[in-house]
Structure 1
């Protein structure tokens, strides 16, 4: 497999990006797929882009392999999700490397405590744990991480 191409997302892809987001989130075991969840993610995606998200996709031969949402002015990696069919194929690592190109000095993020696979991966990728805090939007306890260029 060749690595997907990372590029800015297009508005006509937002529904498909929300589907990838939902499928990846559901793969964590922290949610169940539903039309309600998909609709909420579609709405949130559009609102977040309007409020400053820089939204990117990893595209593999016209298939969306992942999505990445950043708040560049805050050095914040808000969302990084890989479609389940692409798990274990370095798409996440590629999206993170792309993030480090855009935010070369510092990146912070938060990750659900229950998403152990993700936060352990961020730790292996050099992110340092800073603390935990409840996310009032979804009621989940979140782990906060930061990476700084050495």
Structure 2
């Protein structure tokens, strides 16, 4: 079995990326799938790319297995979502390793507080909790994290 290839997303894939994002978000138990949610996520992809996202996908022989959105000027890992069929196969860890090649010294992220599985994973991966704030656009309490490359003393 080959590993999915991480590569830049193409504009003709945005709708499919939105579907993968929705299915992964729904798998957290924090939302239900709907045409409304899907339309909002698809619109958000286009809007966020205009606002500076670098969007990548994990491509499994033509199937989008995951999405990764980075905002490099802000050192932000903005979105990392793995399709349910690919969860539990270390694809998230591969995407995080890729993100660290793009932001090798430091990065920030935020995660919905109720998505305990995600934030606990980020903590295991070396991210340090900094604060919690309510996100006004959706009402979720967000946990903010920071990762810094460890330097060895010489």
- Residue 123 (structure 2) aligns with: 123
Superposed CA deviations along residues 57-83 of structure 1, whole A, max 9, x for unmatched, are 001111101000010011000000000
Matches within 5 A, 1:38-57: 38-57=38-57
- Residue 3 (structure 2) aligns with: 3
Q: Mind listing any 5+ residue stretches in structure 1 that lack a counterpart?
A: none
- Residue 29 (structure 2) aligns with: 29
TM-score normalised per structure 2: 0.96
How far does residue 2 in structure 1 lie from its aligned partner after superposition? 2.3
- Residue 63 (structure 1) aligns with: 63
Q: Alignment partner of 2:31: what SS?
A: coil
- Residue 148 (structure 2) aligns with: 148
How far does residue 135 in structure 1 lie from its aligned partner after superposition? 0.6
- Which of 1 and 2 has greater Rg? 2
Cα distance in structure 2, aligned partners of 1:60 and 1:93: 16
Cα distance in structure 2, aligned partners of 1:17 and 1:86: 14
Q: Does 1:15 align with 2:10?
A: no
Q: Alignment partner of 1:68: what SS?
A: strand
- Residue 111 (structure 1) aligns with: 111
- Residue 92 (structure 2) aligns with: 92
Q: Mind listing any 5+ residue stretches in structure 2 that lack a counterpart?
A: none
- Residue 78 (structure 1) aligns with: 78
Q: Alignment partner of 2:88: what SS?
A: coil
Q: Over aligned residues, Cα RMSD in angstroms? A: 0.6
**After TM superposition, what 4+ stretches of structure 1 lie above 2 angstroms from structure 2?**
none
TM-score normalised per structure 1: 0.99
Cα distance in structure 2, aligned partners of 1:135 and 1:30: 15
Cα distance in structure 1, aligned partners of 2:14 and 2:138: 21
